[in-house]
Amino acid sequence: MRPTFSGFEIVKSGIQSAQVGLDVTGKNIASMGAEGYSRRVVDQKTVYYSSSTYKYAPVGGQRLGQGVTIDKIVQIRDKFLDIRFRAANSEYADFAKKTEVLESINDILDETTNDGLGVLIEEFYERLQVLSTNTGKIEFASLVRSSAQKITETVNFYYGKLQQISELEKVNLESITILDINKSLQEITELNKTIQNEELVGNVPNDLYDARNLLLDKLSKYMNIEVGEYGDDSPYKGAVSVKCGDTYLIDPSSDYTATLKMEEDAGKVKIFADTTELVFTSGEIKGTLDIINGEGSFAGVEEFNGIPYYLKSLDNFAQKFAEVFNGLNGGDLFVGNDASDFAISDEWLADANFLKVTTEGSQDSGKNDNVLRMLYALDSKQQITGSFEGTFIEFVVTLMADAAIDKNFYTDRASASDTVLTTIDNQRESVKGVSLNEETVNMIKYQRAFEASARVMTALDEMLDIIINRMGVVGR
Amino acid sequence: MRLTNNIISKNYLKSLNKSLTEMNDMNTLIAAKRKYMRFSDDPVSALRAMKVRQNITRIDVYTENLRDADDIFSQYESVISNVNSIVSDALVQVSQGMTGTSDEVARQTIAKSLEAFQDAILAAVNTQFAGKYIFSGDTVGQPPFSIDPDTGKLLYKGDPVDNITEFAEKRYIDIGLGLGVDEGGDVLPKTVWDIAVSGLDLLGYGVDEEGYTKNLYNMLGILAEKFENNDMTDIDKLYEKLQKIADNVRVQYVSVGEKSEYIKFFVDRLGSEQYNLMAKQTRLEGLDLAEGITKFANLELAYNACLQIGTKILQPSLLDFLK
């Protein structure tokens, strides 16, 4: 037996779900430009009832069910792609950061279109040559001196500029990056709690998931993170944990949220999550730390050629340059302990002829043997650092080349990992993004479904009209 | 793959930006007529170009050193030719004075002119050029010759020239032979070029086996004294000696000429080396404009096409075809 109004109920559920479907379509279209939005779909289910629990349930082949119901509105998202995206994002951020800073280092050292230390050493060489044919003349001696002064000032300048880059990166790390990370961690913890509460009462807080995922994406740019979720039977279901390496940054099970801070220890910058030092394998922080801490060949182990590498190289250059020329001169031409206070001596500053042109007899005899010795020293191999033996110019060019080759290398790697990131992002977008064509089809679909359901309703109404008003009135 | 509007616009923007960047980079290269603007753009070429650039400046330095030397040698030549003509005149005077027809007065005159020649020679060998005493061997900062006020004899850096038996003065310049220094700190002669010229070589030094001075100045002094005193003993022999000295001056003339020739040869060689290096530099760093502009035109075309496609690809969806 069929209940009289069961058809109305069925059609009503159709009309309602078509309306909800259209609402979801509207939400998707409205949010398609929002960052981090993942599309929603209506999870429609048919309603079935069991003949044993319903008094008037039809039996046998008549069973039809009770129309449809909206089970829930779900978001379409592939968690595996999220993991891959975050890994690629932090790898790219590491290389991009290095590329960016290496570009600044190159700006200082690169002599392709500017004159720098290499050109100045060459100028010093040229002026010594001129002095060698014009010994004893103060004007040529003072040309040599002014060239030497330019060398010392340029070394100071390089040193200062490089240190400035390092300082700026430190400030950026401490007062922008770390603050942002701490804020994001707090926000994720808050979201964790809200989501847990929402899920507890049976809601599906899609917008909060999106917000949390967006924050996790942002964190992944800064560092390598590992996001953990809890199963259905866990008391922490709905919350996520965040780990960097082996260290928990967010641990819902112990209600812990880390606060990151930067510390400097023996010239090395380190990042701590409260008391535990974090070890980064990728991300912008890894890039920054490599730049700030990397001693290159000066470190015992293999390290990135960071700013300390260039600073130490300049120190070694200044010390060796001073050692060689002071030795040949028999009195200090150059003073200073490292690249920052490398300068020409007061004696030389007071008297250009303080540079000894000959070791035999009077300085104004016109002999030039010591100038030739200096020229030879400038052009012969020196052990400038523990691992470098070559001329001063070669050393400067090698420094330049180190920065350039690293820049070249990391630009290539950044561009390669950018391609990977773009591919994964496209894949992710292809799953979670809103397609206007699809939504338009959905729009038509729901509109038509609504129209058709309404028509069925009208048909049912007319049938009842026949039963009530027109049936059994024959011969009246 | 499911394609969404966001993917299309994101990818489109990325390509458009890439296209514009490439066009801009090419434009910069063309404006600078360079293959690359930064060391990091092409480290291998840049490193090689750096070396070539250094070699070019080195050649400038060596050429400049050789030119300096050449100027000095030209000066030597003119001084030596001057001395040579003095010697010739002296020979004429002496041979005239030797003949029996010359009387005491004439000989007195000859003596006076020989003394004048002495002064001229002293002035010539103490010549300064560009602030250097060019006949001073290795110590060009100091005048080489002076006269002993007691004997009237010539002194070379304080020593009587007649007493000098041997000397070796070297003044080296670097002309790109690979300057080297031995462990004791002495310059290796083979790796440099000696431009020292001593007045001693020109004027002669020491005494011969018969005890006669080999020096022009002193010889003229002896002859002047003889003529002054009208003393003609041994005059034939002295004349012969003077002739020998005159021969030596001519030999010096020739040897300086040879050095000048060597400089010209070497400067030419450096010049062609420099030309080759500059060609290499252009090949490493320079952009062929035709090639650059063709590339630019291609990039421009790509950019325009990209823009044009944008209006088509970004616009339509099913939404646009609903009535």
Average pLDDT over residues A155-166: 96
Helix, strand, coil percentages for chain B (3-state, nearest 5): 65, 5, 25
- Model confidence, pTM: 0.86
CB-nearest to A430 from B4, B50, B130 is B4
Please name the member of A33, A401, A425 whose beta carbon is closest to the beta carbon of B43. Answer: A401
Tens digit of pLDDT for each residue in B272-313? 999 999 999 999 999 999 999 999 999 999 999 999 988 887
Question: Nearest residue of A to residue B183 by CA position?
Answer: A373
| Min Cα–Cα distance to chain B from A112, Å | 6
A123: nearest CA partner in chain B: B57
Taking CB atoms and an 8 Å limit, are A372 and B68 in contact across chains?
no
B50, B68, B132 ranked by CB distance to A366: nearest: B132
Contact B2 A430 (CB under 8 A): yes
| pLDDT range class, residue A62, cuts 50, 70, 90 | low
Burial class (CB in 10 A: 0-12, 13-18, 19+), A35: exposed
Q: Hey, what CATH topology would domain B47-282 get?
A: f41 fragment of flagellin, N-terminal domain (1.20.1330)
Average pLDDT score over residue span A270-280:
94
Q: Find chain B residues with C-beta within 8 A of A402's C-beta.
A: none
ipTM over cut 0.90: no
Burial class (CB in 10 A: 0-12, 13-18, 19+), A61: exposed
Q: Taking chain A, what is the end-to-end CA distance rounded to the nearest angstrom?
A: 30
Facing A366 at nearest CB: one of B5, B36, B141:
B141
B283 CA: distance to closest CA in chain A (Å) = 15
B40 to chain A: closest CA residue = A404
Q: Where are the beta strands (DSSP E) in chain B?
A: 128-129, 132-133, 145-147, 154-156, 159-160, 172-173, 193-194
User: Across the interface, do B60 and A367 touch by the CB < 8 Å criterion?
Assistant: no
Which residue in chain A is spatially nearest to B49 when comparing CA positions?
Answer: A112
Asked whether the beta carbons of residue B181 and residue A372 sit closer than 8 angstroms, the reply is yes
Please list, residue by residue across A219-253, b when 16 or more beta carbons sit within 10 angstroms of its beta carbon and e when fewer do. Answer: bbbbbbbbbeebeeeeebebbbbbebbebbbbbbe
| pLDDT score recorded for residue B315 | 67
Q: Could you report the per-residue pLDDT of B101-113, keeping only the tens digit for each?
A: 778 888 888 899 9
Q: What is the pLDDT of residue A212?
A: 96
User: CA dihedral defined by B66, B69, B75, B77, rounded to 10 degrees?
Assistant: -80
Of B37, B40, B139, the CB nearest to A366: B139
Query: Do residue B141 and residue A133 have CB atoms under 8 angstroms apart?
Result: no
Give contacts of B36 with chain A, Cβ < 8 Å. Answer: 112
CB contacts of B32 in chain A (<8 Å) are: 113
Domain boundaries, chain A: 6-76+433-468, 87-181+265-432
List the single residue in A with minimal CA-CA distance to B129. Answer: A134
Per residue in A330-374, pLDDT (tens digit) is 889 999 989 999 999 999 999 998 999 888 878 878 888 899 999
| Digit-coded pLDDT (tens) for A425-449 | 999 999 999 998 899 999 999 999 9
> Does the pLDDT value for residue A59 go beyond 80?
no
* Contact residues, chain A, for B65 at CB < 8 Å: 129, 132-133
The predicted structure's pLDDT at residue A98: 96
Tens-digit pLDDT profile for residues A277-328: 999 999 999 999 999 999 998 888 888 999 999 999 999 999 999 999 999 9
Model pLDDT for residues A209-239, shown as the tens digit of each residue: 999 999 999 999 999 999 999 988 899 999 9
Q: Does position A65 have pLDDT exceeding 80, yes or no?
A: no
- Judged on CB neighbours under 10 Å (0-12, 13-18, 19+), A422 is middle
Q: Which of the residues in chain B have pLDDT under 50?
A: none
Q: A with B: how many residue pairs have Cβ under 8 Å apart?
A: 162
Q: Which residues of A touch B3 (CB under 8 A)?
A: 430, 435
On chain B, the residues whose CB falls within 8 A of the CB of A361 are: 139
- State the Cα angle at B171 between B165 and B173, rounded to 5°: 155
- Residues above pLDDT 90, as percent of chain A: 76
Residue A133: band (very low, low, confident or very high) from pLDDT cuts 50, 70, 90: confident
Residue B177: per-residue pLDDT: 87
Kindly indicate the confidence band of residue A61, based on its pLDDT and cuts at 50, 70 and 90: low
Residue A85: C-alpha distances to residues A89, A164, A225, B7 (Å): 6, 34, 11, 15
Closest residue of chain A to B142, computed from CA coordinates: A365
pLDDT in the model for residue A387: 87
- Which residues on A lie below 8 Å from B4 (Cβ)? 429-430, 433-436
CB contact under 8 A, B171 and A111: no
Give B313's contacts in chain A (Cβ within 8 Å).
none
The alpha carbon of residue A165 is apart from the nearest alpha carbon of chain B, in Å, by 19
The pLDDT value given to residue A53: 64
Whether B43 sits inside 8 A of A431 (CB atoms) is no
**Which residues of chain B make contact with A111, given a CB cutoff of 8 A?**
39, 50
A440 closest CB neighbour out of B2, B11, B318:
B318
Question: How close is the nearest chain A Cα to the Cα of B92, in Å?
Answer: 38
| Whether B65 and A366 lie within 8 Å, measured CB to CB | no
pLDDT digits over A397-434, tens only?
999 999 999 999 999 999 999 999 999 999 999 999 99
Q: What is the pLDDT of residue A210?
A: 95
Instruction: For A269-278, give one letter per residue: b (16+ CB within 10 A) or e.
Output: bebebeeeeb
CB contact under 8 A, A437 and B317: yes
| pLDDT value at A1 more than 70 | no
The domain spans of chain B are 15-33+288-313, 47-282
Q: What distance in Å separates residue B206's CA from the closest CA in chain A? A: 24
Mean of per-residue pLDDT scores for chain A: 91
Separation CA B107–CA B97 (nearest Å): 6
